[in-house]
Structure 1
Amino acid sequence: MTAAGPLPRDRRVAAIRAALQAAFAPTALEVRDDSHRHAGHAGAQDGRGHFDVEIASEAFAGLSPLARHRAVYDALGDLMVTDIHALSIRARTPAGD
C-alpha cells in the first residue's frame, strides 16, 4: 500500500480488516469505526478516522503489549498515515492473554 491518499470512508474498515487478516490470521477480529463519536475533534479535521480494533492471534504469543501494538501498526502500514487518526487496540492471544 502506498500513501496515495485516504480511502473512501465506507472502505476503511474493510481495508483495516484485510491488512490485519493478512498479517495475523486472527481467530477473532473486530474493527469498529468510531469516527462519528469524534465529529468536530481537531484531529479529525484532516479526514482521517478513529477506529477500535479487538484482535486475537497466536502471532501475539510471547509479545509484550507494546510489541503487539507495534505489530498492528506495522501491519496497517500506510493506512496509519492516510486513513487512521486514532486507533484503540486490544491485542491478545486466543487463550486471552
Structure 2
Amino acid sequence: MTVRARIEATLRDNLSPDRLEVIDESQHHAGHQPDITGTGETHMRVRIVSPAFAGKSRLDRHRAVNALLKPELDAGLHALAVEAAAPGEATRW
C-alpha cells in the first residue's frame, strides 16, 4: 500500500470525512535536500472536510491530523500540509 493510500485510509477510518483529497506533491520538492529526489512519497497535502473539526481551532485540527499520521511522519514522510474544515465552512478548494 502506498503512503497516500495509507493516509487516506487512516483519515477515513478516524475522521469520517465528507470530503478528502490527499495530493502527492513530492515532485515539486526535488533537490530541497540531498536525499529528496522527487521520486518518493515525501511531501503530501491533505484537504479534508470533517464533522470532527466542528468547533475546533485551526491548530487543533492540524494537531488531530498530525497525531493520526504520526506513524507516516516517523517512517519518513518529510512534509505534510493540512487544509482542514468543518462542514459548511468555506474552503479555497
Shorter-chain TM-score: which interval? 0.7 to 0.9
Q: 2:81 is aligned with what amino acid?
A: S
Query: Which structure dedicates a bigger proportion of its chain to helix?
Result: 1
What are structure 1's unaligned runs of at least 5 residues? 1-9
What are structure 2's unaligned runs of at least 5 residues? none
Higher RCO (CA < 8 A, seq sep 6+): 1
Listed one character per residue, the Cα deviations across residues 33-92 of structure 1 (whole Å, up to 9, x for unaligned) are 000100111175396601111000000011100000000011112111113111111000
Q: TM-score, normalised by structure 2?
A: 0.85
Moved over 6 A (4+): none
Between Structure 1 and Structure 2, how many residues are aligned? 88
- C-alpha RMSD of matched pairs (Å): 2.0
Identity of matched residues, %: 41
Map of 1:1-97 to 2, 5 A cutoff? 11-42=2-33, 45=36, 49-96=42-89
Q: TM-score, normalised by structure 1?
A: 0.81
